Structure 1
Amino acid sequence: MTAPTPASPRAAATRLVPVGPARKRLSVAFLLADRFTLSAFANFVDVLRLAADEADRSRPIMCEWTVLSADMSPVRSSCGVKVAPDRRLRNAARYDYVVVVGGLMGEARALDPAVLAYLRDCAARGVPIAGLCTGVFLLHEAGLLDGYRACVSWFHHQDFLDRFEGATPVSDQIFVVDRDRLTCSGGHSAAHLAAFLVERHVGQSAATKSLNIMIIDSPLSADKPQPGAPGTPGARDPLVRRALLRMQQRMDTPDSVAALAAALKVSRRQLERRFREDLGTTPQRAGLRLRLDRACALLTETDRTVTQVAMATGFCDAPHLIRSFKGDLGLTPAEYRARHVAHRCAPGVSSASGALAAPLPPPTPTSAGR
């Protein structure tokens, strides 16, 4: 039997040279704001965790994730749970993405100056930056969204407009990818944005597996309408839901149907056909219904005058609102308000909460205004 040929000293030396850990396919750093939204962070990082290994063994083989901090102090979430950072900013490595998770509106502290400096340095080096939930507010305040489209939750749409004059946030889809900026509305949307990145860097099967283990059917594309906004019951068509969300967001200055169709990048004819097929009504009628529903809420939940309610819901003036109210509901706004006040004062209504003992059905709509 022939003895094996001994390896050359050079080959042996090559084998003995220690090899450093291979760079992961997807590397993400997190920056957590004070009172950050735990669900957005957890959904995003769990997709990475599940995509990184077989099943749910959680070994960072394909993906890695790190929580960065200026001072290594634990960061409290909006529910009080604290997360301990992994690494100081000055020891930050090279990452494929830096993700900012926002916190409670009006209660959280601003980002540390060192964090802002780090983010601006990342932006200057071309590192893609993502904002989850209200993280989009922090990125905009830092000047990192100038010239970019940004996704904001429908729930915080008006807050964003109030804070950033001239801004045009996207609130009718779950996330937005605009060049090297990624923003999402929070909640499960964070999982879908993470799945988008996993599919891009690791593969589609890894993204789907992660979501399936999390009991989420399959990855959703960025333009999927945001779920959960009030005033869209029964709407199943994604285009119709996006249109209704836009109507809600622009209630004080409603679009014409032509402008609405243009904003949604469809023809007016297509938009009207999709409304008929999905809701059995027209965009004009659906928009009027949303505005009247909002007017009803303002009349019963606030002490605003009829003129103020008219201005807030896109009617020209008080007479315009009165005509629309009578035509659709058979009552004037004053009569509608008086009816609800009388019902709240009736016996059997809880005085502690002011809630109705039984829901008061709205007046039956008339055929007028259809």
Structure 2
Amino acid sequence: MTTPSFRDASGQDATGVQRTTTSLRAQKSRAEGPRLSVGFILARRFTLCAFANFVDVLRLAADEGDRSRPILCDWTVLSDTMDPVASSSGITVQPKERLGDPRRFDYIVVVGGLMDETPSLSQAYHRFLHQAAEANIPLIGICTGAFFLHQAGLLNGYRCCVSWFHHSDFLEQFEGLNPVADQIFVVDRDRLTCSGGASSAHLAAYLVDKHVGRAQASKSLHIMIIDDALQADKPQPGLPLDLKTQDPIVQRALLLMQQNIDTPISVQDIAQRMGNSKRQIERHFRLALNTSPQAAFLDMRLDFAKHLVEKTQKSVAQIAVDCGFCDSSHLSRMFRRRYGVTPQSFRQTTYTDVSNAPSN
């Protein structure tokens, strides 16, 4: 079987690192059962899309065609109470088994949910996750699942991936950690985390590639109308941007800018966070976008300000704060230079155009 080329947070081959922390079950002869067995813990109000994408990659890789027999892979939803678990969309999932012995799985996956509506996992789940960690079974956090792993004390010393959308929440709640919000997933020894959504399919494909085979991983993604497996360091898409590029260094820099749009950071800070030099960042921006990082950051902030002026009733002073400008005068000056009108005039024109639009 060809192993993937993904690198973990320390720059080592993720597969080589994880081989030393393989679960007892993974050490058994594969003639005894599936090559890849995954146990799922679903937090209340979990993200259905992230869970379904992960499971469907396993399902499609497990059997010939689309027959869904758990031959090469199996998957089980675990519970401490066996009560149905409601997703954030309101659809419920019925667990299949109680927690039991975690060593029967190769991986334990925690699927997180809505930040404001999801309580901590129960002590039974915490004990189960600690038992898994002590048995050297890799733990996976999907979407906000990284929050739960950290609450259980199982991410100390690890890098972890969180969605760009929850980056600030993570920093507020978990001081001292260094969450990664500019990659779709992170493999750091025996902890794997991903930002959720479609990235969970790519993390699942990474596991299928490692344990079952690249052909099965590709087959799963192709049936799901996903062209190819993405590597771990593929940048998260973030907010929609007019600044389009396929350059991963520029994409990651733009994402860091988005995360700091209200408190602009310097190009030097961006370069340090990414592990690149300032000159490298500037060169990539010039080649990819024919502009400088500073100019791109200003364009991004002005675009966001324009959106807020047009779509909200916030004051120009508040919009200036939200977009990282010194004050309303600074915003108005830069806004006029870019769009030819002040924010106040633009808002009034937009309101007038909507008011005068013909009704059906």
TM-score, reference length from structure 1: 0.81
Q: Deviations over 1:281-317 (max 9, x none)?
A: 2211110011112222333444444443333222233
**Which residue in 1 is equivalent to 2:293?**
283
- Once the two structures are TM-superposed, the CA of residue 254 in structure 1 deviates from its matched residue by 1.9
Instruction: Establish whether residue 177 from structure 1 lines up as the match of residue 191 from structure 2.
Output: no
Q: Distance in 1 between matches of 2:257 and 2:73?
A: 40
Query: Greater Rg, structure 1 or structure 2?
Result: 1
Q: Does 37-46 or 301-310 show the bigger shift? A: 301-310
Q: Deviations over 1:2-52 (max 9, x none)?
A: xxxxxxxxxxxxxxxxx9970432221100111221211111112112222
**Which residue in 1 is equivalent to 2:72?**
62
Q: Distance in 2 between matches of 1:343 and 1:192?
A: 45
Instruction: Establish whether residue 326 from structure 1 lines up as the match of residue 333 from structure 2.
Output: no
**Which residue in 1 is equivalent to 2:129?**
119
- Once the two structures are TM-superposed, the CA of residue 93 in structure 1 deviates from its matched residue by 4.5
Q: How many residue pairs are counted as aligned between the two chains?
A: 332
Aligned pair in 2 of structure 1 residues 94, 323: CA closer, same or farther (>3 Å)? same
**Which residue in 2 is equivalent to 1:46?**
56
Contact 1:75–1:84 (CA under 8 A) maintained in structure 2 = yes
Contact 1:68–1:92 (CA under 8 A) maintained in structure 2 = no
Contact 1:232–1:244 (CA under 8 A) maintained in structure 2 = no
- Residue from 199, 203, 211 that aligns with 1:189: 199
- Residue from 107, 110, 117 that aligns with 2:117: 107
**Which residue in 2 is equivalent to 1:262?**
272
Aligned pair in 2 of structure 1 residues 274, 164: CA closer, same or farther (>3 Å)? same
Q: Distance in 2 between matches of 1:164 and 1:340?
A: 42
**Which residue in 2 is equivalent to 1:8?**
none
Superposition map of 1:1-370 within 5 A: 22-90=32-100, 92-165=102-175, 167-227=177-237, 229-344=239-354, 346-348=355-357
Q: Does 76-85 or 155-164 show the bigger shift? A: 155-164
Contact 2:44–2:87 (CA under 8 A) maintained in structure 1 = yes
Q: Distance in 2 between matches of 1:185 and 1:349?
A: 44
- Once the two structures are TM-superposed, the CA of residue 109 in structure 1 deviates from its matched residue by 4.0
Q: Does 74-83 or 305-314 show the bigger shift? A: 305-314
Q: Does 141-150 or 66-75 show the bigger shift? A: 141-150
Contact 1:272–1:282 (CA under 8 A) maintained in structure 2 = yes
Q: Distance in 2 between matches of 1:110 and 1:32?
A: 12
State the AA in 2 paired with 1:119. Answer: L
Unaligned ranges ≥5, structure 2: 1-28
Q: Does 301-310 or 116-125 show the bigger shift? A: 301-310
Contact 1:174–1:225 (CA under 8 A) maintained in structure 2 = yes
Contact 1:232–1:241 (CA under 8 A) maintained in structure 2 = no
Unaligned ranges ≥5, structure 1: 1-18, 351-356, 358-370
Q: Deviations over 1:73-112 (max 9, x none)?
A: 2222222322221211135542221101112232234322
The CA RMSD measured in Å over matched residues stands at 2.6
Q: Does 147-156 or 282-291 show the bigger shift? A: 147-156
Q: Distance in 1 between matches of 2:320 and 2:306?
A: 11
Q: Distance in 2 between matches of 1:281 and 1:211?
A: 36
